[in-house]
Amino acid sequence: MLAPLKTLEQIIARLGETIDSLELSRTDGFASLVLELPHGLSRAPDLPGPQFQFAHNHRGEVRAGYGVAGEWVAQGDLRLRQLQVIAKGISRAWQHQDPDETGFKGFAMLGFAASPDERPEASMVDGHSLPNALLWIPELALSSRTGQSAVILTTALPVSRERAFSRWKEQLKRTIPHLNQPALAPLTPAHLDHGATIPDFRHWKTLVATALQQIDQARLEKVVICRRLRLHGHRRFDLTRLQAALAYLFPSCQVVTIRRHLASFVAATPERLLTQQRGIVEVDAIAGTACRAPSAARDAQLTTELQTSPKNLREHNVVVDAVVDALRQCSRRIERPETPQVMQLNNAQHLWTMIRAELIPGMDVFQLAELLHPTPATNGQPCARARAWLRQVEPFQRGWYTGAAGILEPDLTGELWVLLRCASIHDRTADLFAGAGIVAGSDAELEWQETAHKLAAMSSALQFA
């Protein structure tokens, strides 16, 4: 493997050789130059400034973006349609040059909060937040899969050759020396001080009882109640170590990190909102949860109980039915397995059904996200009624927890992940989020325990950060 400084010299030389293939004098749009890296990436570095990262250990994929070539924000019921109009304009005027024939292209990040009418300050940790909805093209991006990787440099147009070369050279100097650095040695697990949990258990029991009344009266079929736990560390949380811990503990989850200001939003989520490739979409329906056990026999027993539990099957089928109903509006053919599988994670196991559909022509990520989000797995059913009820009774606003984020390709396809197992982190403070689906037969204490298991996913990793 080449030394980092040698790699930097080669990439800068290659930039000088290939930059003239771009039409930088165009009056609008964006230009991306894709340059192959000499080795794959196991992770992306945490660098100062705005950045996002999506890393999936089992799939061997890393996508990361640094700096801002362009960004757009929106809020309200039309937020995704507004960003879709912008993205369509970008797509028509986005040129790509791939002189090393890597097959990679430039990409954007698309993400949004749980509720379209939530104000950005509602999700703040110590004065910093993400906007309600965000479309973001990074100035420097990293993309790696199946052992091949590339750095992607992007600029808004028009721009002079000298200006583009200078900015890109500085970005490369900031980034390339940090690629594939040796993993940091794990820290001794640190004690975390528990702050307030909102709601507390007494309030939680009241919310569950009220939800069950709504279900008994047939006003709701399911509703998801959430809680927020604040943790304080005895040292500043290190995002590089946190990402490594999450990737190790939850290798089948997508590890997401987003930072625009001082605070960072981190998730280790098992649930795709959607993956669209050409005319095919895949959606994860995940609902119905059981804990894990150290004994293999007890663990197998918990799996069997999960698969045969009327309450968990009822909760799961509500989600599957809602996803299928949404896809009927945009699909020619839908494949739905008859029975769910069990997704086993380090600290929990879930009923999981992967639904696949052949789309009608013209569908894109924005339209699919609008149809599918929020699913009953994070909101409730009926959707509008559950959302209205939660707006009235939930004691905090969720921010990007149970929202979605992911990668948008230039043709407006891509992949979005539901933001679960989340933390909003600033310095030594972390706000963690978890929820539980309430259906007929739910028990307040058991649902509280379920949220505790979910919160343990992030709190366990934070001990090593």
Q: In the prediction, which pLDDT does 191 show?
A: 87
At 128 the pLDDT is 52
Does residue 47 fall inside a structural domain? Answer: yes
Q: Is 186 domain-assigned?
A: no
The pLDDT, as a whole number, for residue 36 is 97
Query: Does any domain span residue 41?
Result: yes
**233 and 92 in one domain?**
no
Report whether 440 contacts 216 (CB < 8 A). yes
223 in the same domain as 169: no
Phi, psi (5° rounding) for residue 168?
-65, -40
Choosing from 148, 178, 208, the residue where a domain stops is 178
152 and 212 share one domain: no
161 and 200 co-located in one domain: no
Q: What is the pLDDT of residue 347?
A: 80
Measured distance CA(31)–CA(106) in Å, rounded: 9
**Structural domain contains residue 320:** yes
Residue 183 lies in a domain: no
Give the pLDDT score at 429. 94
State the pLDDT at residue 95: 96
Into how many domains does the chain fold? Answer: 2
The verdict on 139 and 200 lying in the same domain is no
Q: What is the 3-state secondary structure (H, E, C) of the chain?
A: CCCHHHHHHHHHHHHHHHHHHCCCCCCCCEEEEEEECCCCCCCCCCCCCCEEEEEECCCCEEEEEECCCEEEEECCCCHHHHHHHHHHHHHHCEEEECCCCCCCCCCEEEEECCCCCCCHHHHCECCECCCCEEEEECCEEEEEECCEEEEEEEEECCCCHHHHHHHHHHHHHHHHHHCCCCCCCCCCCCCCEEEEEECCHHHHHHHHHHHHHHHHCCCCCEEEEEEEEEEECCCCCCHHHHHHHHHHHCCCCEEEEEECCCCEEEEEECCEEEEEECCEEEEEEEEEEEECCCCHHHHHHHHHHHHHCHHHHHHHHHHHHHHHHHHHCCEEEEECCCCCEEEECCCEEEEEEEEEEEECCCCCHHHHHHHHCCCCCCCEECHHHHHHHHHHHCCCCCCCCCCEEEEECCCCCEEEEECCCEEEEECCEEEEEEEEEECCCCCHHHHHHHHHHHHHHHHHHHCCC
Query: Tokens 């709190």 identify what position?
Result: 459
Residue 251 sits in the same domain as residue 123: no
pLDDT per residue, tens digit, the chain (465 aa), is 456 678 999 999 999 999 999 999 999 999 999 999 998 898 899 999 999 999 999 999 999 999 999 999 999 999 999 999 999 999 999 999 999 999 999 999 999 999 998 775 544 444 457 899 999 999 999 999 988 999 999 999 999 999 999 999 999 999 999 997 766 666 678 889 999 999 999 999 999 999 999 999 999 999 999 999 999 998 899 998 999 899 988 999 999 999 988 889 999 999 999 999 989 999 999 999 888 888 999 999 999 999 999 999 999 999 999 999 999 999 999 999 999 999 998 888 999 999 999 999 999 999 999 999 998 989 999 999 999 999 999 999 899 999 999 999 999 999 999 999 999 999 999 999 999 999 999 999 999 999 998 999 899 999 988
333 with 402, same domain: the answer is yes
Say yes or no: 90 and 166 in one domain.
yes
Least Cα distance to 123 among 452, 426, 456 occurs for 426
Is 418 within a domain? yes
Q: Roughly what angle, to the nearest 10 degrees, separates helices 365-372 and 310-328? A: 140
| Domain, as residue range, for 27 | 4-178
Q: Is 135 in the same domain as 206?
A: no
Q: Are residues 140 and 220 in the same domain?
A: no
Categorise residue 247: left if φ over 0, alpha if ψ from -120 to 50, beta otherwise: alpha
Q: Is residue 188 part of a domain?
A: no
313 inside domain:
yes
Please identify, among 125, 155, 178, the residue that sits at the C-terminal boundary of a domain: 178
Q: Does 279 share its domain with 356?
A: yes
CATH code for the domain of 72: 3.60.120.10
Q: Are residues 134 and 200 in the same domain?
A: no
pTM assigned to the model: 0.93
- C-alpha to C-alpha distance for 300 and 303, rounded to whole angstroms: 5
